[in-house]
Structure 1
Amino acid sequence: MTTWMLMMGALLGMASSMAAEPRHALALHGEPKYGPAFEHLDYVSPEAPSGGTLKLANVSASTFDSLHPFILRGTAAEGIGRIYDTLTVRTLDEAFTEYGLIAESIEVADDNSHVRFNLREAARFHDGEPITAKDVAWTFRRLREDGHPRYRAYYSDVDRAEVIDRHSVVFHFADTSNAELPLILGQLPVLPAHYWADRDFSATTLTPPLGSGPYRVAEVEQGRRVVYERVDDYWAADLPINRGRYNIDRISYDYYRDGTVALQALKAGEYHLRRENVARNWATAYDTPAVESGLLKRVEIPHEQPAGMQGFFFNTRRDLFADPKVREALSYAFDFEWTNDNLFYGAYKRTRSYFQNSELAATGLPSDQELERLEPYRDELPERVFTEAYQPPDTRDRPLRRNLRQALSLLREAGWRVEDGTLTHTESGQRMAFEILLVSPSFERVVLPFRRNLERLGAEVSVRTVDPTQYQNRLETFDFDMTVHVAPQSLSPGNEQRDFWSCEAAGINGSRNIAGVCDPVIDALVEQVIDAPDRDALVTRTRALDRVLQWQFYAIPNWYIDRFRIAYWDRFGRPADNPPYGLALDTWWVDPERAARVDNR
């Protein structure tokens, strides 16, 4: 075969791999719910009026010192994402489908070797400059090189970004098996290269940055308050994906260090809406005339969002928690049933899965399909992965003391004995002494009974509540023994699982692998989740991963709730139906008559 023929064959092969049909949306599995000619999302009111103000509160005791959310340094202001547009945008009534926003169309190669985004010519930054393919490629490189460390892991399967012309950019993939990559890249926020040309991308800033989204920063009081105002000439306001959204003119966040003070501020009308995360408050703290008269509403909105795992997470980088048997033993000291009945008014359900409240959660015994995924690792996994359904210890049908006896039995098997009232390792002489790190004083009422139970086992446990900045720094550098943490999940797990569970992420400061998980089997199962070819395979592979995580006891599961608890002043209108996979607050609007009635109360 001649050189010319070889070259032609190669070019034809490239052309074949380049073949792709421009699409208005991408669904990870199946087809998008909304066709190319859709007019608006089903869960909006397309004729909703605009105007008014929404006052919110940050009640997590956090403060902020930056308006730059893309780097490790600093704590970014809440809501800052509102000022940025992305290539595509996700809907809340589909498992994982993204529709073009900055991108007018998307082309995915038949062999999944690349994705091409064709940008809308009308797309603009707030200063009127057009959004171009160069901005997209620049953003990708900057996030991966100078952004938060998690971006490097998140985009690790992407080889490079190539600018084709002013409005077209192609991302080439190093791994063609990851069907999620085109959607992951669609989530890319596009930053203005011209704005950052003479600014230090790695530095925190309180200067309002240039964006392209529906809102811009209007006012900033460091650590106390941030206000966003709706952009009057927002370039994407009339796109079908945005119709009926972003109706409120001004959205502000006031920061409160104390949850009790924040709750009283809501009842005094200092802000308008609160997601209530404290069961005791929901049960007892809203007995006020405003609630009785209907001016202050309390609603529970059901949802189907995965709850992920909230729990007491062990830092397995510590020798003390390196043994799964020790971690399992300590899990018997948490009495969820007592906690739920006595502290939470029975409001919660027990978490048992890392993908709780979704079809992805592993339940019962493994299916034949799951066993196919797990069988190659049988020699490296606990036998219970194959023969038992995981269930956290409980006290529904047995007293706590029986659980504590079971804990001591496991600890003895792991080489621990009680000497002079203290758990001590028989070989090393190490004492069972550790700290539980907290950021919120409100959680102390949960942790202190847990500590008492641990002390009954002979453990020496201290509880330390620190300020948000110190807490964030200690988590990012993994400077803790045990902490309360939430590992959130979506309906379509993928690349982010590396950041949660991989050996690589365990050694990267700022990663979300809080527990320090480093297991070759888990690494392999994570890659299988990422490479799942269809929805059925994704569910099976995620359940297999979930089983292994459950039986390695990286966390002592806490609880979850399958509805949003919202308290708000009756000044808003909202669509009749909330979507199943999120609280669509951006579809609400201010009703002038209702607002006047509340303001004149």
Structure 2
Amino acid sequence: MSVLLRALTISLLLPLASPLAAAPVTSHALTLRGAPALPAGFSHFDYVNPDAPKGGRLRLDGLGTFDSLNQFINKGIPADGLSRIYDTLTTSSEDEPMTRYGLLAKSIEHDPDDASWVIYRLRPEARFSDGRPVRARDVVFSFDIIRSQGAPAYKAYFADVASVEALDPLTVRFRFRGKDNHELPMIVGELPILPEHYWRKRDFTRGGLDIPVGSGPYVIGSLEPGRRISYRRNPEYWGRDLAVNRGQYNFDEVSYVFYRDSGVAFEGFKAGQFDLRQENKAKTWATEYRFPAVRDGRVVLLEQQHQNPSPMQGFAFNLRRQPLDDRRVREALSQAFDFEWANRALFYGAYRRTHSYFDNSELAARGEPAAAERRLLEPWRKQLPAAVFGPAVMAPVSRGDGYDRDNLLRAQAMLKAAGWHYRDGALRNAAGQAMQLEMLLVQPEFERIVQPLKRNLARLGIRLDIRILDAAQYIERLRQFDFDLTVTGVPASLSPGNELWGYFGSQAADSPGSGNLMGLKSPVVDALIGQITRARTREELVTEVRALDRVLRAEWLMIPQFHIPTYRIARWDRFGLPERPPRHGTGIDAWWWDAARAARLERRSRAAADDGAADTAPASGEPR
């Protein structure tokens, strides 16, 4: 059955089904499928300590710099942590990634069978940080200004929202262009709510460092432009006693200090300039966490398991540019990355190779397509690579010796088929032009991972230049898609939906600043994303996401890298932690300042300093 005929058949059946349709319901939460794990009237999330004390501070690190306190526009570099000053209509539990519980919203009215609308009713006690009430007109204003004047990605993300209307001072209704996308009612609940009275007379597109008014648990306390920003817990925060907030946001102050790169940041952590480091370098974790504060227990190391699908991290190709617009060239270049050697020589065997855009989950395509997947893909056979209909495409496997001749010979054959031949010391096309590419980086430490790829490409006659930029230049070039290759990651969800438009949708490919860095434009991918957003059962969703995964992998949009199913966290031992972490997050917002531990740590650090030990933990410090 064709896709069109199938859609017509379903539409003809809808009137027959309507007498059995469920009536609209009013609830404390929205969930994409099934029921929320926590009932109305629940007291707190299961992974928090509801009696956690308030006080103390948490110091974190940021990379690069910042010059803006407006995170919603495509101008400037926003400071880390700005989400702490804003509340949204709903919030999520880190145990349930696809459920949203009311935050600013006291209740949510929706129709389980008709996702063409949703109504949010606000809590009358909700207040902005300046004491003014949060009202429905602020919700309408926030949606309108973010979609019309915010970063282009918002316009794509909210494209299917037809209208937003304040029904009364505390009630707002969203209407959608269709009635099958059951994620949209949840997505609009994620919208940060801005105060109309603050922004109405200001230029929303300007950016800058004027301190905005928010409604969240924190307000901006102080800042040093480009270097440091601190958030102060608002003692008048309207939502401090809500069940969704109980046991969270416990620190009186959360601050970020900025470093030019992660290597400098690591030295700052060792010196006690900030409290917590989430380590993403296997070599550093394996060999460099041996400084005195680790050995004597003042710094605690934690490998925290999670149940998240692993994002696709890799070397992303810019399909807007030749010769990277040729799938055969992209697949050939992918043969030159020797993961097995890198994992042994650079990463101490810490990583697993990433193959899927939804690795570490049931959503990843495996083996031959199932019958249901084939039914989805068959109408598009002429537009798809043949590999889509065979075993799921896997990243190349090497001997692990750093020079895998077999893979390079395969790459050479693919390049010849694409019209590239080695002559006069370089790989050239029919016009005699040599293949020369640039890898754009912002983290200098990534160069050691790129250099082996560069050497292997040189053996094929391809020149790869490595360009390392500061954060501002790097962000601007990515916004304008001004690169050949870069390192990036595509977030993965247990229940993918509308966000896929921003990463892989054709419209996003031409929107500066969008998440579709690769520039993929595919009617097949667009059609599959549309079906994913309309999935009504988990079984449908899994089938449709696996079909999409097959297509994305066969397009060779990236050279896949690696992942681990744990968070690697190092922390100075001055905090209390709940009994168990959440299933799908770090849970850091549920930590608290443990005054006894903090005092003990300070005594031990002073003793270590008196003994002449390096890497002590002063009460405060400046970046080196």
2:455 maps to which of 452, 471, 483: 452
Deviations 1:54-90 (A, max 9, x none): 11111x3x21000100100011100010000000001
**Partner-residue secondary structure (3-state), 2:486:** strand
Q: Distance in 1 between matches of 2:350 and 2:288?
A: 15
Matched, 1:345 2:373: no
Matched, 1:504 2:507: yes
Q: Distance in 2 between matches of 1:342 and 1:68?
A: 42
Per-residue deviation, 1:261: 2.3
- May I ask how many residue pairs the two structures share in their alignment? 585
Does 223-232 or 257-266 show the bigger shift? 257-266
**Partner-residue secondary structure (3-state), 2:543:** helix
Q: Distance in 2 between matches of 1:237 and 1:538?
A: 36
Alignment of 1:412-423 (within 5 A): 412-423=416-427
Per-residue deviation, 1:270: 1.3
Q: Distance in 2 between matches of 1:470 and 1:555?
A: 22
- Contact 2:366-2:391 at 8 Å conserved across structures: no
Which residue of structure 2 lines up, in the alignment, with residue 194 of structure 1? 197
Which residue of structure 1 lines up, in the alignment, with residue 541 of structure 2? 538
Which residue of structure 2 lines up, in the alignment, with residue 10 of structure 1? none
Which residue of structure 2 lines up, in the alignment, with residue 587 of structure 1? 590
1:117 maps to which of 120, 124, 135: 120
Which residue of structure 2 lines up, in the alignment, with residue 149 of structure 1? 152
Unaligned ranges ≥5, structure 2: 1-17, 605-624
Per-residue deviation, 1:19: 5.3
Q: Distance in 2 between matches of 1:262 and 1:243?
A: 32
2:70 partner letter: H
Q: Distance in 1 between matches of 2:30 and 2:453?
A: 46
Q: Distance in 2 between matches of 1:396 and 1:36?
A: 56
Alignment of 1:402-551 (within 5 A): 402-426=406-430, 428-551=431-554
**Partner-residue secondary structure (3-state), 2:27:** coil
Alignment of 1:252-263 (within 5 A): 252-263=255-266
Deviations 1:119-150 (A, max 9, x none): 00011001111100000001000011101111
Which residue of structure 1 lines up, in the alignment, with residue 276 of structure 2? 273
**Partner-residue secondary structure (3-state), 2:455:** helix
2:164 partner letter: A
Q: Distance in 1 between matches of 2:261 and 2:416?
A: 42
**Partner-residue secondary structure (3-state), 2:451:** helix
**Partner-residue secondary structure (3-state), 1:226:** strand
Which residue of structure 1 lines up, in the alignment, with residue 103 of structure 2? 101
**Partner-residue secondary structure (3-state), 2:115:** coil
- Contact 2:338-2:400 at 8 Å conserved across structures: no
Q: Distance in 1 between matches of 2:568 and 2:315?
A: 23
Matched, 1:52 2:56: yes
Which residue of structure 2 lines up, in the alignment, with residue 70 of structure 1? 72
Per-residue deviation, 1:17: 10
Deviations 1:320-360 (A, max 9, x none): 11111110001010000111111111111111111122221
Query: Superposition RMSD on alpha carbons, in Å?
Result: 1.6
1:425 partner letter: N
Deviations 1:253-276 (A, max 9, x none): 000113222212211211111001
Deviations 1:381-437 (A, max 9, x none): 1222112221111114896011100100111111110011211112x3332111011
2:237 maps to which of 234, 239, 244: 234
Which residue of structure 2 lines up, in the alignment, with residue 400 of structure 1? 404
Q: Distance in 1 between matches of 2:483 and 2:405?
A: 28
Which residue of structure 1 lines up, in the alignment, with residue 4 of structure 2? none
Which residue of structure 2 lines up, in the alignment, with residue 26 of structure 1? 30
- Contact 1:119-1:132 at 8 Å conserved across structures: yes
**Partner-residue secondary structure (3-state), 2:254:** strand
2:78 partner letter: A
- Contact 1:17-1:113 at 8 Å conserved across structures: no
2:83 partner letter: G
Does 24-33 or 102-111 show the bigger shift? 102-111
Per-residue deviation, 1:524: 0.8
Matched, 1:312 2:315: yes
- Contact 2:341-2:400 at 8 Å conserved across structures: no
1:325 maps to which of 321, 328, 333: 328
Does 241-250 or 489-498 show the bigger shift? 489-498
With normalisation by structure 2, the TM-score equals 0.92
Q: Distance in 2 between matches of 1:600 and 1:370?
A: 62
2:85 partner letter: I
Q: Distance in 2 between matches of 1:357 and 1:81?
A: 28
- Contact 1:237-1:243 at 8 Å conserved across structures: yes
Per-residue deviation, 1:192: 0.1
Moved over 2 A (4+): 16-19, 258-261, 396-399
Unaligned ranges ≥5, structure 1: 1-13
With normalisation by structure 1, the TM-score equals 0.95
- Contact 2:107-2:122 at 8 Å conserved across structures: yes
- Contact 1:572-1:594 at 8 Å conserved across structures: yes
Q: Distance in 1 between matches of 2:93 and 2:38?
A: 10
Q: Distance in 1 between matches of 2:22 and 2:99?
A: 22
Which residue of structure 2 lines up, in the alignment, with residue 282 of structure 1? 285
- Contact 2:573-2:597 at 8 Å conserved across structures: yes
**Partner-residue secondary structure (3-state), 1:499:** helix
Q: Distance in 2 between matches of 1:582 and 1:257?
A: 26
1:309 partner letter: M
- Contact 1:24-1:99 at 8 Å conserved across structures: yes
Deviations 1:358-387 (A, max 9, x none): 221112221122112111111211222112
Shift in alpha-carbon separation, 1:228–1:107, aligned structure 2, 3 A: same
Deviations 1:568-587 (A, max 9, x none): 01100101111111111000
Shift in alpha-carbon separation, 1:225–1:482, aligned structure 2, 3 A: same
2:40 maps to which of 36, 43, 55: 36
Q: Distance in 2 between matches of 1:341 and 1:561?
A: 15
1:430 partner letter: Q
Per-residue deviation, 1:23: 0.5
